[in-house]
């Protein structure tokens, strides 16, 4: 009986060792894959930086002027209609974000002079006295999801792309107020310019 128990325990331990070994292999593969992706992203960033560095001063000035013109034009053209905000807090958050139109996009920035996409939305809601998570992926789970664009109200978070890596604030009339990407500023843009996933009502 004692020998049988020992043999059973040995079988269990062998099985657990086998499972642990398999998990370690999976983790090693994942680590390698993440390392390769990191290298790929760093390579693309370095290439983009090389391209920027290769521009002459005149070309850089022209590029900056074009970006500024596009941002001004988007602010001038936008017709927001008279959609009501989702709530008093959402309205306050949206007003705070509006006050930052023209502020530069800086990756990882959370204000008060520059922002990335989720930095802007988390800062705006903080001005309304509401704490929401810092990243777009976490903000996607911070409230009630709204899958129909027709149900969106001013101040709702709007999540874009399949991996949920971009977020803005719904501005009404099919427009989003957001911090788009490096080289741009906080501005309005059509919700249809990006792959809409869903809204989130805080």
| Residues that are catalytic | 117, 166, 178
Residues 170, 154: contact at Cβ < 8 Å? yes
Q: In 3D, which of 106, 74, 97 has the Cα closest to residue 182? A: 106
Residues 51, 63: contact at Cβ < 8 Å? no
User: Residue 144: enclosing H or E segment and its boundaries?
Assistant: strand 144-146
Residue 14, token pair as written in the block = 């062998």
Q: In 3D, which of 88, 68, 74 has the Cα closest to residue 176? A: 74
Query: How far apart, in whole angstroms, are the C-alpha atoms of residue 111 and residue 125?
Result: 12
Half-sphere exposure of 83 (CA within 13 A, CB side): 24
The neighbouring-strand residues paired with 154 are 85
Residue 190, token pair as written in the block = 């059509």
In 100-192, where does DSSP find H-type helix?
A: 117-127, 136-139
């Amino acid at each position: 009986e004692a020998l049988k128990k020992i043999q059973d325990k040995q079988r269990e331990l062998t099985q657990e060792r086998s499972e642990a070994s398999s998990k370690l292999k999976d983790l090693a593969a994942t680590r390698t894959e993440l390392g390769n992706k990191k290298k790929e992203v760093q390579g693309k960033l370095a290439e983009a930086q090389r391209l920027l560095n290769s521009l002459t001063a005149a070309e850089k000035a022209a590029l900056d002027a074009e970006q500024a013109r596009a941002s001004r034009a988007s602010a001038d053209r936008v017709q927001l209609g008279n959609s009501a905000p989702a709530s008093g807090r959402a309205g306050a958050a949206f007003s705070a974000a509006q006050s930052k139109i023209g502020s530069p996009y800086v990756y990882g920035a959370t204000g008060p002079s520059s922002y990335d996409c989720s930095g802007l939305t988390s800062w705006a809601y903080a001005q309304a006295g509401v704490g929401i998570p810092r990243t777009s992926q976490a903000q996607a789970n911070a409230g009630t999801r709204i899958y129909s664009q027709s149900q969106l109200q001013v101040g709702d978070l709007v999540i874009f792309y399949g991996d949920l890596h971009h977020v803005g604030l719904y501005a009404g009339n099919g427009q989003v107020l957001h911090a788009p990407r490096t080289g741009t500023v906080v501005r309005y843009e059509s919700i249809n310019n990006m792959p809409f996933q869903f809204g989130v009502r805080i």
